[in-house]
Amino acid sequence: MKLEKFCLHNNKSLVWYAHSKGASHVHDFFIGPWRGVLNYFVLDNWQLCYNLLLSTNYTTCGAIMAFDRVRKAGWNTYYAGNMWWAKCSHVNRLTRLEKIDQKDRYQAELYVTSEPAVGHFNCHFINLNIPISFNKQTANCTTNQPMFWARW
């Protein structure tokens, strides 16, 4: 909710959100590589998303974009792992977090991509059903990479 409050007063700013991915699944072999991809694109190389959002019409940027059925919510586009950058102008158009079902933990993951007809940029595609392979030497996040433009 502090993120929303910040954005209300800073409409032209950018914000990032980082979920504590894997905190409750410390020994899950899948979580380490997953967190590695998210950290690499969203935090370690923050300039990638930051510069992309400043120079394009995209409103969010993250890694591991998924299009999936999420429990009661139906089909959704979301950043699997819930780490992303967003324009405050985009955050200000979203349904307020206090109005989202707090008992359904998946709703938080759908939050930033819930606004229809906006651009969500995906830095890294993976298949969530197989072990993650990731090479930092060849990884990049540019507009020359495959993009995902979400529209409902």
Residue 89 resides in a domain: yes
User: Is-contact 80 33, C-beta < 8 A?
Assistant: no
Confidence of residue 90 (pLDDT cuts 50, 70, 90): very high
Its sign, for the CA torsion 30, 66, 56, 20, is negative
Q: Is residue 128 domain-resident?
A: yes
Domain residues for the domain of 90 are: 1-7+31-152
Largest CA distance in the chain: 42
- pLDDT surpassing 60 at residue 129: no
Q: Where are the alpha helices (DSSP H) in the chain?
A: 2-9, 31-38, 46-55, 88-91, 106-110
pTM of the predicted protein model: 0.77
Question: In whole angstroms, how far apart are CA 32 and each of 5, 24, 27, 117?
Answer: 32, 12, 9, 33
Total domains present in the chain: 1
Instruction: Measure the CA–CA gap between 114 and 104, rounded to whole angstroms.
Output: 15
Question: Does the pLDDT of residue 30 top 90, yes or no?
Answer: no
112 within domain boundaries: yes
In a domain, 113, yes or no: yes
pLDDT digits 0-9 by tens, 45-63:
889 889 999 999 999 998 8
In a domain, 104, yes or no: yes
In a domain, 18, yes or no: no
pLDDT at residue 85, rounded to an integer: 93
* Any domain includes 81: yes
43 in a structural domain: yes
